[in-house]
Amino acid sequence: MTADLEKFLAARDFLLNVPSYEEAYAKFQWPHLTKFNWALDYFDSMAKGNDQLALIWADENGNERKVTFDEMHRRSNQVANFLRDLGLTKGDRVIIMMETSVELYELMLGIMKAGGAIIPAATSLPPKDIADRITRGEVKFAVVHAPFVEKFNKAGSALDGLKARIVVGDEFSQQCDEEAEAEKCWTQYSESEKYPETYEAPFITYSTDELFLFFTSGTTSKPKLVIHTHTSYPVGHLTTMYWVGVRPGDVHFNISAPGWAKYAWSSFFAPWNAGATIFTFRYTKFNAKKVLDAVEKYKVNTLCAPLSVLKLFLLEDLSKYKFSLHDFVSAGEPLNPEVVRKIDEAFGVQVREGYGQTETTALIGVFKGMVRKEGSMGKVAPGYKVALLDEQLDPVPAGQDGQISVETYPVYPLGLMIGYDDPERNKQVFKAGWYFTGDTAYQDEDGYFHFVGRTDDVFKSLDYRISPFEVESELMEAEPVMEAAVVPTVDERDRIVPKAFIVLKPDYRPSRAAALDIFRFIRDNIAPYKRPRVIEFLEAFPKTVSMKVMRRELRAYDREMRQKGEHGEYEFWEKEFKDELGLGKRR
């Protein structure tokens, strides 16, 4: 066992066994590692000869595969040998476009062992975005599930610089003619099964070597390329492991799709850092009942799901299930208090919120044993130092909004990216010993953080600061509302007022009567200064691959309609209900 592995295990074991959050935050320190490859040094030492289940894969059709740690260790060695034989050298960047599968886990470990850096790509990406990622990411290898090869090929000349293209799945076959260049042909992933089950790395992995590169989901701007290293990312996810509450021997399920950071967070590093079993479920289209059936059948102990999934769970009859959960967490979208109350009651375990970014690991959270406050996303994770700063980079007092900022000096936290691929952007987010997240929050007297919104989303109406998330949380308590997204619009006097886009529950239909019911709820339950004056029903919201609502697209759509002097098909203004709502009368 190397000295660096000993330090990693000591940090991990401390968080697995610490009795309280207060002690964890006061005493946890990031291990100082210089030569560390998580797949080779940690995973293999834990997995070799280990017959415990590392992975359970299942799909919506009832198929399943179970893989032990030892099997995953040996199979990923074969993959590493395969990749090296195809020409992968240390530092080569590999783009992966795949559905969740056993092969995906083999590949992620194998690429790490072979010295590659991983760029996940969502399967929903169009060819132009694939081309952009390959070009900007300086990609050398591509690994693609068979159903997406045709789309991938349409990336055109961006593929010319690839050393190799690998296809996973027998349903794709391509015969290259004798004159075709080898790197322009697709190599079958199944060829990796012919390689030795032992692997020796011909290089040293340094802590500063690149490991994961993510394109952000782009809610407010063009996706940025986030760079994490061999130490910062897997070791940084000790905070995620601690937040999730996953233990050795648990079965952990994170409802997420490959292609974005949350999959790596909670479907890969956090559970395996704890020595737990990962459960992963493949489906064509999300079906709450099938997912809940799987959670029950496979006796999932720790579950992570975003707000959009929690809402769909609540549409099912949850009383008929007998779950094995001891911890339930949610990240990716701030939780609405009404949803939290219903989930707690239905699952019999408190759902705990967490906050982080593609650029970080779990940064803030409600940790196990901590008193939960309604509407709060918790306290700072062990290993991080976080403050709320104003535009002058000064800390704000309790109760006042400030930008969530991570201290980077004198100790640089391991979970934080080393930066973007854009030097100018790095200058904007790294200043004076801080990393600026671009998110706004306030902190109460007890040190709990309360999310306000993206700095780009918060707006003023009649000189009042409007937090879209705050108004959306209140709208969620209205019975017909499935989802809500609040943006600024302008009224007939050119004043900025809140507008609420609403997706109704399946039993409700867009209509004037439905709008009146919601306006009545708004008048009875939301303070006048932040009351939406306009609502518009949509079938669905534009969302990123990580299921975050793209408010910038909603703002752009509304702005275009206002400029044209047009209204949406199911858009209603409060003033249209003057008599029914008693507008202008004292209340």
Inform me whether the pLDDT recorded for 459 exceeds 80: no
Inform me whether the pLDDT recorded for 150 exceeds 60: yes
Inform me whether the pLDDT recorded for 48 exceeds 70: yes
When pLDDT is cut at 50, 70 and 90, the band that residue 585 belongs to is low
Residue 332's alpha-carbon distances to 256, 300, 340, 548, in angstroms, are: 10, 21, 15, 7
Residue 200 CB-density burial (10 A; 0-12 exposed, 13-18 middle, 19+ buried): exposed
pLDDT at 236: 97
Query: Average pLDDT for residues 535-548, to the nearest whole number?
Result: 82
Inform me whether the pLDDT recorded for 587 exceeds 60: no
When pLDDT is cut at 50, 70 and 90, the band that residue 457 belongs to is confident
Ranges in the chain annotated CATH 3.30.300.30: 457-581
When pLDDT is cut at 50, 70 and 90, the band that residue 173 belongs to is low
Whole-structure pTM value: 0.82
Residue with tokens 């619009």: 489
pLDDT at 404: 96
pLDDT at 223: 78
All residues at 6 or more sequence positions from 214 whose CB lies less than 8 Å from its CB, including other chains: 119, 120, 225, 226, 228, 260, 261, 264, 358
pLDDT at 1: 84
Inform me whether the pLDDT recorded for 177 exceeds 60: no
Q: Which of 124-128, 172-176, 316-320 is predicted most confidently?
A: 316-320
pLDDT at 175: 52
Inform me whether the pLDDT recorded for 64 exceeds 90: yes
Q: Which of 247-251, 329-333, 475-479 is predicted most confidently?
A: 247-251
pLDDT at 389: 96
Write the DSSP string, 42-74. IIHHHHTT--SEEEEEEETTS-EEEEEHHHHHH
The CA-CA-CA angle for residues 346, 352, 353, to 5°, reads 120
% the chain with pLDDT above 90: 75
When pLDDT is cut at 50, 70 and 90, the band that residue 220 belongs to is very low
Q: Which of 216-230, 268-282, 562-576 is predicted most confidently?
A: 268-282
pLDDT at 297: 97
Ranges in the chain annotated CATH 3.40.50.12780: 34-228
* Domain over 457-581 is classified CATH 3.30.950.10: no
Inform me whether the pLDDT recorded for 434 exceeds 80: yes
Q: How many residues in the chain?
A: 587
Residue 281's alpha-carbon distances to 72, 101, 237, 285, 496, in angstroms, are: 18, 8, 22, 11, 45
Query: Average pLDDT for residues 502-525, to the nearest whole number?
Result: 94
When pLDDT is cut at 50, 70 and 90, the band that residue 183 belongs to is low
- Please give the Cα distance from 53 to 68 (Å, whole number): 4
When pLDDT is cut at 50, 70 and 90, the band that residue 528 belongs to is confident
Sheet arrangement for strand 53-59: 64-68, 53-59, 277-282, 251-254, 302-304, 327-330, 351-355, 364-365, 379-380
276 φ, ψ (degrees, to nearest 5): -95, 170
Which of 59, 40, 138, 164 lies closest to 102 in space, CA to CA?
59
Inform me whether the pLDDT recorded for 221 exceeds 90: no
What is the average pLDDT value for the chain, to the nearest integer? Answer: 92
Q: Which of 276-280, 337-341, 564-568 is predicted most confidently?
A: 276-280
Q: What is the tens place of the pLDDT at every residue in 192-208?
A: 999 999 999 999 999 99
* Domain over 34-228 is classified CATH 3.40.50.12780: yes
- Please give the Cα distance from 341 to 339 (Å, whole number): 5
